[in-house]
Each structure stands twice: as C-alpha cells, then as structure tokens.
Amino acid sequence: MPEDRRPDRRGGGGEGLPGLKGYDPVELADRVEARVCRDSERMYYRFRAARFYGGIATGDVMGCNLRCIFCWSMHGWAGRTGRMYTAWEAWEKLRGIARSRGYRRVRLSGGEPTIGFRHLEELIGYADSEGYLFILETNGILIGARREYARRLSAYNNLHVRVSIKACSPEWFHRLTGARPEAWRYQIEALKNLADYGVSHHAAIILGFGDKQCYRSLVEALEEADPGVTAHLEPEVIVMYPSVERRLRAAGLWPTTYARPP
C-alpha cells in the first residue's frame, strides 16, 4: 500500500488539541482492507438501482475507515454477510442494472470505496471504457493522505469525485467520527490533490454541527486548498433514522438541521 502521508502544513489541522486522541483513519483503512479485500476483489453486500443523480446503478461495499456517529449506511450493514467480487463481476452487476434502467451513471456507496484501491481502479476503468460516468463518493481521507491516489484517478475521463467533508473543524471531526482531530486535514488535502491533478470533483459538507464561525473557517480552508471549490458546495444533512437518533442522543449531540427518513 503506497504511503504518501505528509504532516499537516498549516494551522487548523488539530495540532493544538493535544488532549484529544482517537484512531488513525489511515491505519484503520489498512486494517479494514485486510478484512474486506482480497487481491483485487472487494466485499459487497448488495447492488441496486438508486434514484440519486437522476438514476444511478449502485454497489454497496462493506468497510469504512471512519466511524461517523451519524452514519446510516455502515451501521446498517453491521452483522450482514457480504460476498467478494472481482472488479469485472462488480462491473457486470452495475452494468446490468444500468442497462435495465436506462442509466448512464454508476457509483459505489455503503462504505468507503477507496479502500481496496486496485479494485476501484479496475472498476472505474471498465466504466470509463464503456462511456459510463463513474461517481466516486468518498470521505477523502485516503486521497488526502496518499496524493498518489489523485494522480492515478486522473487517468480516467468519465470520473467525478464527490468528497464528503464530515465536520467544520478538527474538534468537530473528532467528536463526530472518533478519529484523531489531525486527520480532519486529509479531507481538505483530498480536494487540493484532486485539483492539482485535474480530476473532476466537488465537495459536500455535512451541516448541523458547529456554529457559523466554524463553517466560515471551513469555507476559507477549502478555498485556500482548492480555489473555486466553494462555488459549488453541496449541503449535506444527516437523515435521522431511529438508530442514528439513538446514537446522537447517547452522545449528547443534536444537529441544528437534519432530514427525516423517506
């Protein structure tokens, strides 16, 4: 696994929060990968048609390197059994759904798709060669920590990356994910790396945790890392499934905005 981690270069990366500890999501990714990947195979728990993006074939992968308290997908598959798929097998599933529904878009969801990067690259390659748009939804941690990943993603024409920023500050990142606060910076670095390599991308921001000043500082950090990215920010609100509500209440956290389940 390539390692291209760099120390946080500027303030605001959590360096001043010595009292806050947490797991390292880059190291956790390697441990999760050992469980849900085998060579270039990846574990999935289902394939489905989804209404997002005007209709998209979706593969739900297992395994993530964050532990977001508001996650409504990862906790949903806890206890489910998955199955290993080669990239070609996964592609046949996705393409089959896309063809039957008339979609031209495919994506991975459920967990973190950049875990098992070889599998991801192969899969994007199949979609790319057949003219389907691949939407890579990611928490950005590995793309931020491993600049090499952004370079490799730049090889594809029909790829768009959506980086979901989980928190407005290192402190909130730690509170919401349990990860060490310094790792917040990797999400910002992901945008910079994607921009540097000319990969089509945008940022989504989870709303509802932190005050206006915190979100203003986040926007400034994003703009500094990736000039122009804030012109197309996607607001993301958590969906208050009963299990999410229970976890938030137990942690004494409540968002200022959220959506009810459909």
**Which residues contact ligand SF4 (rule: CB under 6 A)?**
64, 66-68, 71, 73-74, 111-112, 139
Residue with tokens 């459920």: 110
Name the minimum Å distance from CB 99 to ligand SF4. 27
Q: Which is nearer to ligand SF4, 20 or 204 (CB)?
A: 204
Q: Which is nearer to ligand SF4, 162 or 192 (CB)?
A: 162
Q: Which is nearer to ligand SF4, 133 or 176 (CB)?
A: 176
Name the minimum Å distance from CB 232 to ligand SF4. 20
Name the minimum Å distance from CB 9 to ligand SF4. 24
Name the minimum Å distance from CB 129 to ligand SF4. 28
Q: Which is nearer to ligand SF4, 15 or 236 (CB)?
A: 236
Mind giving me the DSSP string for 170-227?
HHHHHHHH-B-GGGHHHHHHHHHHHHHTT--EEEEEE-SSS-HHHHHHHHHHHHHHST
Q: Which is nearer to ligand SF4, 78 or 231 (CB)?
A: 78
Residue 241 CA: distances (Å) to CA of 50, 94, 144, 234: 18, 27, 30, 21
Query: In 3-state terms, what secondary structure has residue 138?
Result: strand
Residue 55 CA: distances (Å) to CA of 50, 223, 234: 6, 31, 18
In the chain, what are the helix, strand and coil shares in percent, each to the nearest 5? 40, 20, 40
Q: Which is nearer to ligand SF4, 106 or 206 (CB)?
A: 206
Name the minimum Å distance from CB 189 to ligand SF4. 16
Name the minimum Å distance from CB 78 to ligand SF4. 11
* Interacting residues of 167 by C-beta distance below 8 A, sequence separation 6+: 173, 175, 176, 177, 184, 206, 209, 210
Query: Would you state the structure tokens that stand for residue 43, as one six-digit string?
Result: 């574990």
